[in-house]
Chain A
Amino acid sequence: MTSDTAGGEIVVDKLVKRFGSFTAVDGISFTVEKGSIFGLLGPNGAGKSTTIKMLTCQERPTSGRASVGGLDIARDALKIKQKIGIVFEYQNLYDELTAYENIDFFRSMFNADRARTREVLKLVGMEEHMKKAVGKFSKGMKQKVLIARSLINDPDILFLDEPTSGLDPRSSLDIRHFIQRLSQEGKTIILTTHNMEEADFLCHDLAIVHKGKIIARGTPKMLKKQYGQDVLKVETKGGNVFESPLNSRECAELFSRLSLAGEIFSVASEEATLEDVFIRLTGEQLTNGHQ
């Protein structure tokens, strides 16, 4: 391991995954501290999910090394699986089985205590629906069952792959608060998302992934400060809106010109977003990866 990746609950060192001639993950390295929420941010196809698949021992890396909870992903797959929980980007539940049957089957795969099934369903607020077939649930309810399933073995590390994708705002918010709660309980969380608001809201630390590589790394605040630009927005009495980078000469000139003319109706400053950071770094939109 290099000095950049030493220590930490998850240590990734020059991890590569190739599918034929296509390189999905191109030598990424990072460390995740215990108890933190670490975000892998990037558009679809950036390599986030492939990275998660390697860290959760679903895919073998082409080269490079990684350890999860101090265990080597190449050698200790079964032990790692015992320590982690995963919420997949798709809602892969047995639709014909009830919520209880779904969770209880996975509980038995971990040899966990039988009482744990009801406990995790209660934790996500699904206890009253546990005898209903999952196929009849809404997307938000299914997502809660998926989170309950990921917690069945009381994992130290949770991998959440697009946990709020396709959910309504209310369900998304519920799940984000739940993720925060899990983090406060000391669980290490790896979150992949292309939702920059979510990343900003949840993550203590972020890596922006683009074409299989990490192109920026830091806290959301740090990344916005380093790569983003706050903006001054001035609205005139005539209804025109002028924008200018905050604290720039251009901004000062704009403000004094409009102020002297008595044209200013309102003034506001707008903070840079992670989307701005991403566009600045890649020249692409974060949500769809288009130029």
Chain B
Amino acid sequence: MDISKIFKIMIKDAKLSIKNMSLLIVVAIAIFLPVMMSFMMGSITASGNETVSIGIYDRGDNRDYVEYLMSVPLYNVSIYGSTDQINQSIRDGAIVGGIDVPAGFDSDIAAKNRPSLVLLTDSTNFKSLIFTESCKELTLRYAGLEYPVILQTQSVVEVPGGSGGMGDAASYSGFTAPTLLLISIIIVGVSVLPATLTTEKEKKTITALMATPVTQMDVIMGKSLFGVFVTVLISVIVLFLSNSITGNLPLAAVFVLLGAVAFNGIGLLISIYSNSYQTASIISSVIMTPLMLFTFLYTFIDELKVVGSVLPNVYLMNGLNDAIVYNKDVSTQWVNLLVFTAITVVIYAVIYVSLRRKGLAS
């Protein structure tokens, strides 16, 4: 292996991707995703047709705040006598979230102090996240932005596939960040190599490249390195845009890197068996679409959870969730890491066999 040539191939691919705008398209998709998710969220929240049932436990005389919340058309409010009752109702599915209002909350606001407020949520429930986001906004508006309330969220329901525990709950952005990251990794990982490699096959520039004293491994490494770099770069952008630089970031980085390597491997495999960009795009879509849909739906549809236990993206999703949302330690992630690494090794073993049988330029 010639490291210098590998980097030169990577830089050439980067130049080409910038000049033919393909990199711009990929970046645009990565930016579009969080915006689209926020828009969907905003649409649901703003829609007058949709209401969410919530519970309020008022520990002291906070009539103004409670009445303010009861006047919000989005909420269908029930008053509870304890947080335990709220937690139980959330678990039962009767309500999607609750507010534990401390004694003296209203008077603290009037005195321009910074009172605390605990939001009880179900981080597996999309409506609960609508509640969390809207409640934050409404409460800050109620209190006045100059004197913001200290908001704490706490999930009372375990995230499926997560390592369990009732740690700090997800915010909306925290909840969606792993999903967005995973979708970005799948889209970018499965798209970049087919775009660069099949275009080289179509234009036969790969033949010219292979006629130089460069090995097939150098070319594969150079192109894969570019694919992994772009995937990681887009992941970082998505993470920034979703405002989720939280949790165990080194662990999240490991999962992002591993995911980038695995899904670029799938992209490479598609490239080996496609002679045109069009064919590669069709195959990529056929692979990407169910994986992405599954990522969206598997936490909400019970029947999908069984299938999820054998899919690589679920292990990646679990790892990202535990790292970003639950700030879990690496010691709790060995199963996710090992299974995902094993899947990646299998992908590259198939690539090795395919390259030996078919070659890169054919």
Contacts and interface: CB of A to CB of B under 8 A. Distances in A.
Contacts of B203: 92-95
Contacts of B16: 94, 96-97
A101 B361 CA distance: 22
Contacts of B8: 105, 108-109
Contact of A90 (B204, B210, B211): B204
Interface residues of B, number: 21
Given A108-B5, A109-B8, A94 B205 contact: yes
Given A58-B361, A81-B211, A149-B208, A109 B5 contact: yes
A82 B208 CA distance: 13
Contact of B210 (A58, A82, A108): A58
Nearest to A83: B213
Interface string B197-215: 0000001110111111111
B213 A96 contact: no
Most buried by A among B8, B12, B203, B213: B213
Contacts of B15: 96-97, 101
A192 interface: no
A272 to B, nearest CB: 37
A78 B20 contact: no
Q: Which of A79, A82, A97 has the largest number of chain B CB atoms within 10 A?
A: A97
Interface string A93-133: 11111000100011011110000000000000000000001
A252 to B, nearest CB: 56
A106 B212 contact: yes
A86 interface: yes
B207 A92 contact: yes
Contact of A81 (B20, B204, B213): B213
Contacts of B358: none
Contacts of B211: 56-58, 81, 86
B201 to A, nearest CB: 10
Interface in B1-41: 4-5, 8, 12, 15-16, 19-20
Given A58-B361, A149-B208, A96 B20 contact: yes
A88 interface: yes
Contacts of A97: 12, 15-16, 19
Contacts of A56: 211
Question: Chain B interface mostly helix, strand, loop or mixed?
Answer: helix
Nearest to B212: A109
Contacts of B213: 78-79, 81-82, 109-110
Contacts of A106: 208, 212
Contacts of A108: 4-5, 8
Nearest to A92: B204
Nearest to B215: A78
B205 A92 contact: yes
A88 B208 contact: yes
Nearest to A95: B203
A19 to B, nearest CB: 11
B212 A81 contact: yes
A90 B205 CA distance: 10
Contacts of B207: 58, 88, 92
A110 B4 CA distance: 11
Most buried by A among B5, B208, B209: B208
A81 B5 CA distance: 15
Nearest to B16: A96
Give the one of A78, A79, A109 with max B CB within 10 A. A109
A16 B5 CA distance: 33
A90 B12 CA distance: 21
Interface in B179-229: 203-205, 207-215
A106 B212 CA distance: 8
Nearest to B20: A96
Interface string B332-357: 00000000000000000000000000
A92 B199 CA distance: 11
Contacts of B210: 58
B226 to A, nearest CB: 14
12 contacts: A56-B211, A81-B212, A90-B204, A92-B203, A92-B204, A93-B205, A96-B15, A96-B19, A97-B12, A97-B15, A108-B5, A109-B212
Interface of B: 4-5, 8, 12, 15-16, 19-20, 203-205, 207-215, 361
In the complex, the 10 A-B pairs of residues with the closest C-beta atoms, listed nearest first: A109-B212, A96-B19, A92-B204, A81-B213, A108-B8, A82-B213, A78-B213, A92-B205, A96-B20, A92-B208
